[in-house]
Structure 1
Amino acid sequence: MEEIISINNNRNNFNSESVTNNNNIENNNIENNNIENNNIENNNIENNNNNNINLENLSSSSSLELYNNYNNNINNSLTNLNSSLIANNIGVQVIFENISYKTENRNYKKQLKDEKKRKKKLGMERSDPTDPNPSYDVESSTPSIQTPQSRSSIIPKNSLNISKIDQSVNPQIMTNNGKIEKEITILSNVSGIIEKGEMVGLFGPSGSGKSTLLDILANRKSTGTITGKILVNGKEIGDAYKKYCSYVTQEEILLQTSTVEETLKFHADLRLPGSNEQEKWKIVEQVIKDIGLTKKAKSKIGGILPGGMMVKGLSGGEKKRVSIGCALVTNPSLVFLDEPTSGLDSLNALKVMKVLMNLTVTKGVTVICSIHQPRPEIYHLFNKIMIILKGRMIYCGNDVLNYFSSLPNQYQCPIHTNPADFILDTCHEISESDHCEEISESWETNWRDNMLAVSRIQPFNRSIEPSKTCSLLYQYKILVKRNFKDFFRNSSAYVTRLSGGFMIGLLFSACFGTLSSSQEDVLKISGILFFLIAVLNLIPFTCITLFISNREIFNSERASKIYHSLPFYLSSITTEAFIQFLVSLIVSILVYSINHLRWNFSSFFITYFILYLINLLSDLYIIAISNITGKSDLTFIYGTTISITFLLFMGHLVPVKQLPKSFGWIHWINPLYYGYATVMVSQFKDYPLECPSDFCQFPNGNDVLKFYGLEDWTISKGIGILIVWICFFFVSGYWAISKLNKEKR
């Protein structure tokens, strides 16, 4: 019980210290009001560091009852404290207002058609479409976006007021009255207040709308129709909101080869443009200390790399804390977490939640997290509970057990029962009872008066600088640095590709042997050039899983808005261009030195440069396909289909002049044809050939080019067209990564 009181003392100490600091800033003298009664001037924030949160022994029902009673008194004191702060014009408040986004139900007409068939099959008579009261609403919905009128910034360290948020999404089901609706309501008239420094647990059965509400509060909802208002310090959200609001997803999507401090430093570099290098490292060190990973600062994140290599690293709970740390580098006022304990064992889950609790106690961060069936120790870390059932708020406060006992059925929590389990069981029971609608409406009615009272509060006005962003060039620099570190640490990526290029060069050399300028070796020379281009075209297929993995990391980081898609794409292409440069160089040197192709510097350089362009081009179109599909299996299917088509119509297996007219045009849209034509010209243009007998099919290299229909081809033309194709695939890949397969929430 002493440990529980220690937690609440921490809460009082923090709020008291916050008041003292705010008084100094505003030069307000409030020693004679309610805050003086709480002995704020005598509290010292250093006491927070001496109080350790340890709830391992919190299990008996008597302790739970004492805790609930004590916590009620504490939260009542905090309510009075916040009222005093607001009265003295130093409080802060968050409200989102009139956000609207509508989307059409694309399956609406199909559902109507299927319903007609179903009723016809059952012998039921549908309503006449011309009936003034039709059974189905067939009007089309028009998407609209309402941009907030005010772009005011917000003040950090705030309280949150949510007023009647409605979230509708495209339905796949029918309503209870038999109608097929264009939209169904997932959240309806959800209201609540979240004060500064509170740790709020969002409870509810699966599918009740918890994650949807979190996404709306974090301004991450990208689909459906959102209405209602959410204010921050009495102002609408502006560009600064992303600076003071952080979101931690349920999945830990982190770069496996980076260390803990490198991961946090990466976020600090991109999200703290106004800080110098020393300040960033100081913030990183503090965050590592806050999340309890000081001893693991140099450890890699770990996990299975693309390609199957396993890197030893952090545990699941430690990775979750790193994800939380990434959200803390900007010192946010609000932290949203979607089921932070999901997939963790009970011990790691408790460690994660204690980290969050310490943030609320020592820094006043407001923590809001959805959670599913926490252990009792975790449940009692929350000082406010919000319960959503069937998309409606049925409770928001700190005395949920007494509230449930006051309901018509008088739901009582049994002795030795986890309150969290009791809440979920009661929610299921309420949802199946006749009182569900009544309870929701009763709560909304009782809440409406409180909302009216809140709406009369004068907002706290203080100018805040707009959120700064790093330049695109700086973002590119940081991303390139991370990419190259990842490349050299992922041996399965660079060793496989570089050793693959080395093996290809040796195999070609062993197969074709030492070549000469005789008639017998003409077909061998053209064959080796064909297969070199074919193999370099297929090498990027080995990296499809890497491209897809990078896309997942990009989607996660893009949702956090820490960088623009262009620097990420350019940095990825820079890394790939460097790798292809090395692979092409290794292959070209081995083949040229052993097979004895046309040996002069210009011929070697042109051949190498064309092979490099082909390798880079193939890499770019595989990246473009992976960005379009977003799936490795589809990328492989589409990529192989395109590559086989390119190889068949490249002009070697069947010379261009001999292609059937119905398909002969394909070689004009085949970039590999232009590469093959250019390397053939570099090898055979004005190249004398030896004729061992009286019959000589190719007296010189120009006759070889004429046989393949390349007598008028020029090297500059081939290089220019290849560069155009590279630009085309580059732009296609960027368009796909910036416009397609975005994270939809």
Structure 2
Amino acid sequence: MTDMEAQTTNRHQSQEPEVPAIIKKANRPVTLKFEDVVYKIKTQKGVFESTGKKSKTEEKMILKGITGVVSPGEMLAMLGPSGSGKTTLLTALGGQLNGHIGGTISYNGEPFSSPMKRNTGFVTQDDVLYPHLTVTETLVFTALLRLPNSLTKEEKVMHAEEVITQLGLTRCKNSIIGGPFMRGISGGERKRVSIGQEMLINPSLLFLDEPTSGLDSTTAQRIVSTLWELAEGGRTVVMTIHQPSSRLFYMFHKVLLLSDGNPLYFGKGAGAMDYFSSIGYTPSVAMNPSDFLLDLANGVSSDENEEDRVAVKQALISAYKSNLADKLKSEVNEMSNHLPDGTSHKQFGRWCTTWGQQFSVLLQRGLKERKHESFSGLKIGQVLVVGFLSGLLWWQSSAHLQDQIGLLFFYSGFWGFFPLFQAIFTFPQERLMITKERSSGMYRLSAYFMARSVGDLPMELVLPTIFVIITYWMGGLKPSAGNFLETLFVLLLSVMVSQGMGLALGAMVMNLKSATTLGSVIMLSFLLASGFYVQHVPAFIAWIKYISISHYTYKLLLESQFKPSDTYQCSPNATCLIGEYPAVKLVGLDQKVISIVALFLMLVGFRVIAYFALMRIGASR
């Protein structure tokens, strides 16, 4: 009995749960071929000369002519030391590598395309998961987004439950994922959740980057056994793996050994030791085959000194070119005549679900994930404290016009900064998740963007409303329903505009420190030019107020409280028109419609900018 047969027998004799029907059969087979794959990057290198330091561009070759073929029903493992190019090659084969790739990569004889995303699963080495969702919620939301509409909602939920059982996640199904500062499930369970997300879509082509990294041998065995079952169902499985145990090694149908971007071996896993023995490399003691192959990839041989590592690597590269390269290319060319029938993209739908379904699911998921952040006691407490403090400082200031104007300006300032900085963090924090889900074709960017924007609205509007309710009456502003509602409307409109600017800055910069600094500079410029601090602004810089959120907000807040015909006590025996008060006259109490239109244009414009900035994330994948 061969090692592979023994592994299969042991699995069937064990009490592991039966593989769910959804992952037993592939939708359609995919043959993966790659010929002479080359990948180069340009790096900057400092050069010191007598004139100082200069930057020199160098070209570094990461992949150096990799060839291979993986058929449906096969599992390929790519081995090699760190920096050998395993992950780069996996990313290239998975259609997720930016830049120019030399050589040819084909899927059933065709190049990678957007519809192929629907049929491809990609599990990254780092688990990208929402920390506040439970295991069940994570997989159910994925199922609702990625499974086709030919299945009912109940069937999609059932498939998620089946995958939970198959991967041994039943014990922690109701536990949250957790994160760096939040206790959740273990690292091995997180990895199985990531694999489960890809198993849900029943992919014909599955890529995994270090799926057993950080796992104990028993958990690693279970995961690789599951992947072997997936391959047996007609799938093409490709993975990188650093140092598998011997029993895992013999489960791989094919093995690719890399060293510094060069192929040293491609062929059956069971035949690797015989090949290297035939060219004069055998282990001096009985050892794990993967350990021996990694030693060779590092240039370490039992009969060589450490100084001869380069020579060993060159000898292995030459042996590969002499013994395997031509034979492998012939095999790849021969496979072109035996591709699976019906490779037309017509069988691949662009989207699994409608726009409305995507929006609904993403909105539900977002509300569940962010309810702890949005309704955090710290954020609510901050607004309440500032609100009551402001109310006490401006207590019944109706008799003092300048104080009331100052309160209205504080409204525009505080509620310009607060939503701005809340929104700046939105997209940079979710960049990895957007990249992962967009690259798999899970949903339309427009559905995600709208769900994210709508999901943030409740708390974004509730907090300023509470703030106005507290400070409006304590500050002694006009006690009429009309004035109050107009003030509230202006402030909420300003909050949404500031939030839009924060979204745009975060999406464009995608660096929290840089985006926060840029946002501070812009908002401070808007405040300085809004007409409260400086009443005689030089003409050459006065144009800033026409693009200032604070200027239009401050102007509308003044108009919500005062009319040009209103009067105030300008001296003990005289009253004057509020419209002639210097601080008010500079801003003006007219052109209300223009100010509202300007804010609405900003409201839409900033979000359009944010949307187009997000399009570059995952768009090329």
Q: Is TM more than 0.5 here?
A: yes
Change (3 A) 1:251 1:641: same
Quote the Cα distance in structure 1 between the aligned partners of 2:76 and 2:210: 12
Change (3 A) 1:168 1:692: closer
Q: 1:394: Cα distance to partner?
A: 2.6
**Among 493, 503, 515, which residue is 2:385 paired with?**
503
Quote the Cα distance in structure 1 between the aligned partners of 2:44 and 2:466: 59
Per the alignment, residue 385 of structure 1 pairs with: 255
Per the alignment, residue 415 of structure 2 pairs with: 536
Per the alignment, residue 526 of structure 1 pairs with: 405
Deviations 1:131-154 (A, max 9, x none): xxxxxxxxxxxxxxxxxxxxxxxx
Is the aligned partner of 1:403 residue 2:275? Answer: yes
Q: Which amino acid aligns with 1:326?
A: Q
Q: Which amino acid aligns with 1:473?
A: G
Q: Which amino acid aligns with 2:95?
A: N
Are the counterparts in 1 of residues 503 and 610 from structure 2 also a CA contact under 8 Å? Answer: yes
- SS of residue in 2 equivalent to 1:311: coil
What pairs up with 1:705-744 in 2 under 5 angstroms?
707-739=584-616
**Among 173, 176, 182, which residue is 1:311 paired with?**
182
Per the alignment, residue 7 of structure 2 pairs with: 7
Quote the Cα distance in structure 2 between the aligned partners of 1:547 and 1:496: 22
**Which has the larger displacement, 539-548 or 181-190?**
181-190
Are the counterparts in 1 of residues 427 and 510 from structure 2 also a CA contact under 8 Å? Answer: no
Q: Which amino acid aligns with 1:645?
A: S
**Which has the larger displacement, 460-469 or 723-732?**
460-469
Are the counterparts in 2 of residues 168 and 183 from structure 1 also a CA contact under 8 Å? Answer: no
Structure having the larger proportion of residues in strand: 2
Q: Which amino acid aligns with 1:193?
A: V
Is the aligned partner of 1:280 residue 2:156? Answer: yes
Quote the Cα distance in structure 2 between the aligned partners of 1:546 and 1:671: 20
What pairs up with 1:297-376 in 2 under 5 angstroms?
297-304=173-180, 310-346=181-217, 348-361=219-232, 363-376=233-246
- SS of residue in 1 equivalent to 2:127: coil
Q: 1:328: Cα distance to partner?
A: 0.9
Per the alignment, residue 123 of structure 2 pairs with: 248
Q: How many residues are paired up?
A: 587
Are the counterparts in 1 of residues 579 and 589 from structure 2 also a CA contact under 8 Å? Answer: no
**Which has the larger displacement, 219-228 or 584-593?**
219-228
Are the counterparts in 1 of residues 30 and 235 from structure 2 also a CA contact under 8 Å? Answer: no
Q: 1:314: Cα distance to partner?
A: 0.9
Report the TM-score, using the length of structure 2 for normalisation: 0.87
Q: Which amino acid aligns with 1:248?
A: V
Quote the Cα distance in structure 1 between the aligned partners of 2:524 and 2:320: 62
Q: Which amino acid aligns with 2:127?
A: E
Q: 1:573: Cα distance to partner?
A: 1.3
Per the alignment, residue 326 of structure 2 pairs with: 445
Q: 1:268: Cα distance to partner?
A: 1.4
Are the counterparts in 1 of residues 3 and 250 from structure 2 also a CA contact under 8 Å? Answer: no
Per the alignment, residue 364 of structure 2 pairs with: 481
Per the alignment, residue 677 of structure 1 pairs with: 555
What pairs up with 1:565-580 in 2 under 5 angstroms?
565-580=445-460
Are the counterparts in 2 of residues 245 and 335 from structure 1 also a CA contact under 8 Å? Answer: yes
- SS of residue in 1 equivalent to 2:33: strand
**Among 212, 216, 224, which residue is 2:92 paired with?**
216
Q: 1:646: Cα distance to partner?
A: 1.1
Per the alignment, residue 50 of structure 2 pairs with: none
Q: 1:661: Cα distance to partner?
A: 2.2
Q: 1:664: Cα distance to partner?
A: 1.8
* Structure 1: tracts of 5 or more residues without a match: 11-47, 55-154, 175-179, 305-309
Quote the Cα distance in structure 2 between the aligned partners of 1:458 and 1:667: 65
Change (3 A) 1:165 1:264: farther
- SS of residue in 1 equivalent to 2:397: coil
Q: Which amino acid aligns with 1:699?
A: C
Per the alignment, residue 559 of structure 1 pairs with: 439
Q: 1:5: Cα distance to partner?
A: 4.2
Q: 1:491: Cα distance to partner?
A: 4.4
Change (3 A) 1:422 1:680: same
Q: 1:353: Cα distance to partner?
A: 3.0
Q: Which amino acid aligns with 1:404?
A: F
Per the alignment, residue 295 of structure 1 pairs with: 171
Q: 1:198: Cα distance to partner?
A: 2.6
Change (3 A) 1:231 1:549: closer
What pairs up with 1:416-431 in 2 under 5 angstroms?
416-429=286-299
Quote the Cα distance in structure 2 between the aligned partners of 1:450 and 1:595: 83
Deviations 1:447-493 (A, max 9, x none): 233334333436434876332512222211111111111222x2475
Change (3 A) 1:513 1:370: same
What pairs up with 1:448-467 in 2 under 5 angstroms?
448-457=329-338, 459-461=340-342, 465-467=347-349
RMSD of aligned Cα (Å): 3.0
- SS of residue in 2 equivalent to 1:728: helix
**Among 607, 615, 618, which residue is 2:487 paired with?**
607
| Structure number with larger C-alpha Rg | 1
Quote the Cα distance in structure 2 between the aligned partners of 1:383 and 1:558: 31
Per the alignment, residue 258 of structure 1 pairs with: 133
Q: 1:229: Cα distance to partner?
A: 4.2
Q: 1:384: Cα distance to partner?
A: 2.3
Q: Which amino acid aligns with 1:446?
A: K
Q: 1:239: Cα distance to partner?
A: 5.5
Are the counterparts in 1 of residues 434 and 618 from structure 2 also a CA contact under 8 Å? Answer: no
Q: Which amino acid aligns with 1:524?
A: D
Are the counterparts in 2 of residues 157 and 196 from structure 1 also a CA contact under 8 Å? Answer: no
Q: Which amino acid aligns with 1:505?
A: G
Is the aligned partner of 1:412 residue 2:289? Answer: no
Q: 1:544: Cα distance to partner?
A: 4.1
Is the aligned partner of 1:702 residue 2:579? Answer: yes
What pairs up with 1:162-201 in 2 under 5 angstroms?
162-172=33-43, 185-201=61-77
Are the counterparts in 2 of residues 273 and 468 from structure 1 also a CA contact under 8 Å? Answer: no
Are the counterparts in 2 of residues 678 and 714 from structure 1 also a CA contact under 8 Å? Answer: no
Q: Which amino acid aligns with 1:664?
A: A
